[in-house]
Amino acid sequence: AGAALKVAQELYIASPEFHVSSSNKLEAAVRPPRVEPAPNSPRDYKAIVVIYMDGGADTFNMLVPYSNCTGVDLFAEYTRVREAVALEREELDAIEETSGTQPCSVFGINAHLGEVTKLYREGDAAFIANVGPLIEPLTKQTYYDGSAALPSSLGSHDAQTRATQTVHAQEPSADGILARMLDSLAGQPAPYRVRAYSTAGETAFLKGARPYDTMDPYDGPVELAASSRLGSYIETMMRDASSSALGEMYSQAVSEMLPRLDELNDAYDSVTRPEGFGTDVLSRQLMHVARMISSRDGRRVEREAYFVELPRCNTHNSFKSVFDNRLEDANDALKSFVAEMERQDVWQDVVVVSASEFGRSLTPRNRGTDNGWGGNHFVIGGSVRGGQILGQYPSGLTDLSPLVIDGGRVIPQTSWEAVWDPIAQWFGVLPSDLDAVLPNRQRFLPDGLIAPHQLFKNYPSPPAPPPLSPSTPSSPSPQPPMALPSEPPHTPPPGSPPASPRSLEAGSASLPPSAPGQLLIISDESASTSWPMPAARSYDGRPWEGVMPRPLQIDCAAGPGPACAIVIPPGGSYRVDGYDESAAEPTPDKLAARFLMQATFGPTRETIRDLAAGASESVSEKMAAWVDDQIYRVPATLHRRYWRQRASPRVGSSAFTGGQRPICEPGARFHEFAFTQNDVGRTIEVTSNSASGMLSLRIDGVPRTDVRAFDLPAAVAPYVVCDVEERVGGAVEVGSDCSNAAGFANPSIDFAVPDLSLVRAVNASEATFVPLSSLGDTNLEVIILAGLHAPCTLATEGVDAFVRYQGKTYRHDWNRLMLVENTVESPSPHNASGSLSCPVVPRTFLNERTCKHRPECVPIEYAKTPFTWDADTLRAFYATSRAYVFFIDGLRLSEGDTPCDSESRWRRREGACTDAFPVSPTSRAALAKALRSRTRGLNPDVLDLDLPRDVCDDFAYSAEVLTGVRIDVDGVCWEHCHEDALNVYDATFAAEESRSNILTAARTGAANPFRELAESGGAMLYFPPEAGMNYWYDDERDALRGTVGRLGDRADFSLLPQQLQTAAMAAFLGAKDVRTLPLPTAPTIELSGVDGATGLTACVGECDADWQCADGLKCFSRADGEAIPGCFGEGGGPDWDYCYLPTYSAIVLSGEDDDEATELTACTGECDADSQCAE
């Protein structure tokens, strides 16, 4: 039974119902198997292999000016600009460039690419100089003045990867360039058999209308593990066609995938493994490509594309140790691949293209280079016209060059369109399809593209279109033009397709364009069992054009007149449909379809019929009924539960959305890398341990890891963290000024001698941890606490805690958000007294039928508890609750400030009460009088004055000062100070979560000043003297988030911000939860009163909100007739809510429902607001 259940679960996961959002309604028809059209006659084989240098390759160190340069010594300029990352001539292989179009006649190829140098000299390799993503031709002037279109997010790895791989820089969702080429070839009159493969996972290069297959970079093609057991069952599940667009798409894709996988694995296994390839990741990928090419005959393929990846080419922090190693790998892999292609006698049929999202900056950054733009790439192959550099290498490399912009980035002068245009034509793409394959192609004509004969040897003149079939004459006689008048040749309801679409025979048809307001579509009914596939269109009077992925061959220049010659391929079932959009009234079907497209994941024929049945004027009524049905009757299916269980962003300790997940709570996260984004703005301290010979890297005095070496220049110390890549080996950038930072690899956590107060060893009998899994990927560097099997011992005194598990050390990611689940079926066990926010939501019309009143989830309400903001109280907040609550001092008065402002702050000072400021005696007397009137206040240390106009003269400070004017008042000295001096702040967010200016300015390379102050028992945060006062104003607004009082003020614990009302602090101050207070023994009150009154007293009158109740009372919202505290009786019924005094004993409910009633007593009468209740 268990095995059968597992099979059922596997089949369910493979079903369309599991993968699509709309209802999968099956039809009676069986989907016919899709048959690839056989080629008309045997044709040649060609393949494109893209080597993608991931991360942005520094290709200006791949192709370097060497000698014989015109104008300037470009190699000397290269050496001067590139500084430490420049290559010496001894590190380059010299090559000749004889075209005369480049700034030098001798260039150098990086010596680590010896195979490319060899192919260049033999005439099988060419370089494309200064190539990159463009939308249109660009100059330095048009870049800066904004008159030219630019690719979005220049310098972004993700955005420029898409732009490079799609060659449609302004369209982020465009199909890949290789996918568009293959779609064009497969849609030709005599279609090619095409395939596409990636050995490096998903890639935009191959994303298009046709699926591509992925291979494991190490193991090659991967079989569907359950194919032998479940393949026949899955095929049966996918057999029937579906009326759901999404269900049909999924089923058809799976139906085509299974036999394709079988074919792929059979063909791969049928040929021997190529010899001579290395074990690095690129060599393994190219070995799989070579083996696939060897199996081409068995797969009956004519055109195919491969995507392989050279990983980790990013050189932010180290050029020599990173890029040179990558190029050595590339060289070894290419050498083996070229030899294998020559052995297979297909070297002339294969083109290898290198690419990267961008080049690097010419000017170095730290020990490496920054993200750039233009770069240099190679094209190699037996048919490539090698020994030349195409494109245009920059004639200058300094900032004065017409191509070099900010940061040493180079504006590309060659677009990727220029590279792929000749390759597409060599591959077999028809000239009429080039604009569809390269959407920006026209922008670079006539001189911005590379011609095919420039890039390829012996490139013939454009061939005539191939014959459509063996029995079709090479030049078929055109059929008479079809009669397509301005109105479709039928009289259907307005806006609907023709009742009898015109069929098109194979051959050449001459069709006029559409009329204004009309849409004509040629589609192939044989391409799909559900919908005809569009292949060409003309709309609103425009000429005919092909429609991807299988566009028809169209020539609108052949005539006659405005008509276009359209080649209709054999083997299909083509028809032309006309749609008239000029009609004023859309049909019911159209109204329904448009509504469902907007309101659902997609319509089906059945849902359209349900809404459209009947007269058109009833569709809107049915739409309204549909909306009501969705809101009130169809159960909600939300992602809320899934999301809340898995969401774990980092949050501050003062977050209101939830609490930080405790270390012993299942779901707690731990990471193997030493530094995280939490450390940005903090300082790494480096100390040596003579006993172990290791260096300890610490933050805030707490060790993060031990390393053998930390080779960063002293010039960037102190090592303030600027940026962190959260993975072992990721980049960590540090520096005293982040504009001049250095970098090192993020180390794993490893202590020579672990501190047992911080590191807990855990074995499998105590706890279970699982690796982080996201979207099918597993991150072994992050582990999740799945469960505890013994009392938890992981917690430490502070937030820094480590676990030693299965031979590795991990640090607790302490500030991850925990959202508890709270549903009707499973109410949360957590209440407001716990460490988490109470999971409550306001009552709305959507949830009022399912919400449950949970008394234990009522927010904690503490009784009034007075206390004084003094040093002992401030220290207690950290000791009890790890909250950083301080008062601020050291703030300076600015030039132009005056004690005579309408509002000013004064502080009490001990000692002599003198100053040197030129304030007149009259003004001093006026200030003394104002201060004397306020000294009777509750705060003995701080006074805030509100002065009337002209009470004193126009004195103002002439410079920034720390101590202001002093005034003696009856023997007590009062000093004018900054308006925020002695304010009390909750600095927890500033200390832990933000890039606080105080945190940065106060730092001396030692511990976090907030934490250091709290741990030392301090209560005063002294503003750093070296920090500008603008730092304070930014912090006060953004990081400290407002004051909670003044030093010496009397305050009420019950009125503090929620994050400070912790149970531990309440215990320290003696604050009581009103729910736990003993109830008075006063007699209960019988429910009475009316509905809707205000000023209601307890138990008198029905209420809906607290404002209907008298002062001191609240409106008790009850469910299912539950008892109201202090009231007894039935009153107006179980649905009536009554005012009550939270501290009263139970009163029997009584009273009437009177909307006008006021002064209602507890449990007497129905109230709607506090104003109905008595005091």
User: Which of the four pLDDT bands, split at 50, 70 and 90, describes residue 751?
Assistant: very high
- Residue 164: which residues within 8 A CB-CB, separation 6 or more? 132, 133, 355, 356, 357, 358, 416
| Longest CA pairwise span in the chain (Å) | 119
Rounded to whole angstroms, the Cα distance separating 170 from 613 reads 43
Q: Is residue 739 over pLDDT 80?
A: no
Beta bridge partners of 378: 127
Average pLDDT over residues 993-1018: 63
Q: Is the pLDDT of residue 862 over 80?
A: yes
Report the pLDDT value the prediction gives residue 230, as an integer from 0 to 100: 64
What pLDDT score was predicted for residue 165?
A: 95
67-76, 205-214, 1024-1033: segment of lowest average pLDDT: 1024-1033
d(CA 885, CA 988): 7
| pLDDT of 647 over the 90 cut | no
Contacts of 134 (CB under 8 A, 6+ apart): 151, 169, 412, 415, 416, 417, 440, 444
How many Cβ atoms sit within 10 Å of the Cβ of residue 855?
12
Tokens for 712, please give them. 């960063």
Percent of the chain exceeding pLDDT 90 equals: 33
User: Can you give the pLDDT at residue 167?
Assistant: 95
Average pLDDT score over residue span 341-358: 95
Strands, sheet with 759-762, edge to edge from the N-terminal-most edge strand: 759-762, 802-805, 808-812, 669-671, 777-788, 767-774
Note the pLDDT of residue 466: 46
pLDDT tens digit sequence for 423-447: 999 999 999 999 999 999 999 988 8
Measured between alpha carbons, how far apart are the two ends of the chain, in Å? 69
Residue 333 has pLDDT above 50, yes or no: yes
User: Is it the case that residue 487 has pLDDT exceeding 60?
Assistant: no
Rounded Cα gap, residues 531 and 1169, in angstroms:
61
Give the pLDDT confidence score for residue 468 in this predicted structure: 39
* Least confident interval from 408-412, 504-508, 1006-1010, 1131-1135: 1006-1010
What does the pLDDT read at residue 482?
A: 36
pLDDT score of 373 more than 90: yes
pLDDT of residue 484: 38
- Give the dihedral sign, CA 1092/1097/1099/1104: positive
Q: Which residue has the higher pLDDT, 492 or 938?
A: 938
Q: How confident is the model at residue 1028 (pLDDT cuts 50, 70, 90)?
A: confident
Confidence at residue 1109, expressed as pLDDT on a 0 to 100 scale: 86
pLDDT of residue 937: 63
Instruction: Work out the mean pLDDT of the chain and round it to a whole number.
Output: 81
Is residue 363 within 8 Å of residue 408, measured between CB atoms?
yes
Q: How far apart are CA 752 and CA 694, in angstroms?
A: 8
CA atoms within a 13 Å half-sphere pointing along the CA-CB vector of 512: 14
Q: How confident is the model at residue 209 (pLDDT cuts 50, 70, 90)?
A: confident
Beta bridge partners of 697: 686, 705
CA 1115 to chain centre: 45
| Average pLDDT of span 1076-1101 | 74
* Top-confidence residue, 1054 or 131: 131
* Torsion angle, alpha carbons of 342, 344, 350, 355, to 10: -70
Which segments within 996-1062 are labelled E, that is strand? 1020-1022, 1043-1046, 1050-1052
Q: In the structure encoding, which two tokens stand for residue 596, read together? A: 């469902």
Given a cut of 90, is residue 1058 above it in pLDDT?
no
Main-chain dihedrals φ then ψ at residue 184, nearest 5 degrees:
-65, -45
Enumerate residues 6+ apart whose C-beta is below 8 A from 986: 654, 883, 884, 885, 1040, 1041, 1044, 1057, 1059, 1060
Residue 602 makes CB contacts below 8 A (sequence gap 6+) with: 21, 22, 244, 245, 246, 596
Which two structure tokens, joined as six digits, stand for 679? 């450390």
Residue-wise pLDDT for 625-641, tens only, equals 888 888 888 877 667 76
Give the C-alpha separation, 1067 to 1053, whole Å.
11
Q: Is the pLDDT of residue 819 over 70?
A: yes
How far is C-alpha 955 from the chain's CA centre? 55
> Could you tell me the strand order of the sheet in which 942-946 lies?
942-946, 903-909, 972-977, 966-969
Report d(CA 1001, CA 1006) in Å as an integer. 12
- Of the pLDDT bands very low, low, confident and very high (cuts 50, 70, 90), residue 1145 is very low
3-state secondary structure of 166: helix
β-pairing, 808-812 vs 194-198, is unpaired
Q: What is the pLDDT of residue 696?
A: 93
- Mean pLDDT comparison of 649-653, 890-894, 1072-1076, 1169-1173, highest-scoring range: 890-894
**Mean pLDDT lowest for which of 64-73, 77-86, 932-941?**
932-941
Alpha-carbon dihedral 562, 568, 572, 573, rounded to 10 degrees: 40
Mean pLDDT (whole number) for 981-993: 81
Helix ranges (H only) for 238-322 are 245-269, 281-294, 296-299
1111 vs 182, more confident: 182
Strand boundaries in 185-281, DSSP class E: 194-198, 213-216, 220-221, 240-242
Spatial separation of the C-alpha atoms in residues 1127 and 1141, rounded to whole Å: 10
Confidence bin at 450 (pLDDT 50/70/90): very high
Q: What is the DSSP letter of 893?
A: B
Structure confidence at residue 845 as a pLDDT band (50, 70, 90): low
Residue 390 has pLDDT above 80, yes or no: yes
pLDDT for 939: 84
Mean pLDDT value of segment 393-420: 92
State the pTM of this model: 0.47
| Dihedral angle, C-alpha 919, 925, 930, 934, nearest 10 ° | 110
pLDDT of residue 108: 96
Q: pLDDT at position 842, please?
A: 65
Gap between the Cα atoms of 909 and 1147, Å rounded? 56
Q: pLDDT category, 31, cuts 50, 70, 90? A: low
Q: Is the peptide bond before 412 cis (omega within 30 degrees of 0)?
A: no
pLDDT band of 852, cuts 50, 70, 90: low
- Least confident range of 358-367, 499-508, 648-657, 1029-1038: 648-657
Tally the residues of the chain: 1175
Helix, strand, coil % in the chain, rounded to nearest 5: 25, 25, 50
Residue 96's pLDDT band (boundaries 50, 70, 90)?
Answer: very high
Most trustworthy range by pLDDT among 594-608, 712-726, 955-969, 1078-1092: 955-969
Q: Over 50: is that where the pLDDT of 472 sits?
A: no
Q: State the pairing for strand pair 885-889/1020-1022.
A: parallel
Residue 462 confidence (pLDDT) above 90:
no
Instruction: Please compute, for residue 1049, the number of CA atoms within 13 A of its CA located in the half-sphere on the CB side.
Output: 16
**pLDDT the model gives residue 222:** 72
Asked which of 124-133, 222-231, 727-736, 804-813 is least confident by mean pLDDT, the reply is 222-231
Q: Which residue has the higher pLDDT, 713 or 316?
A: 713
Round to whole Å and give the CA distance between 33 and 40. 21
Beta-carbon count within 10 A of 531 CB: 11
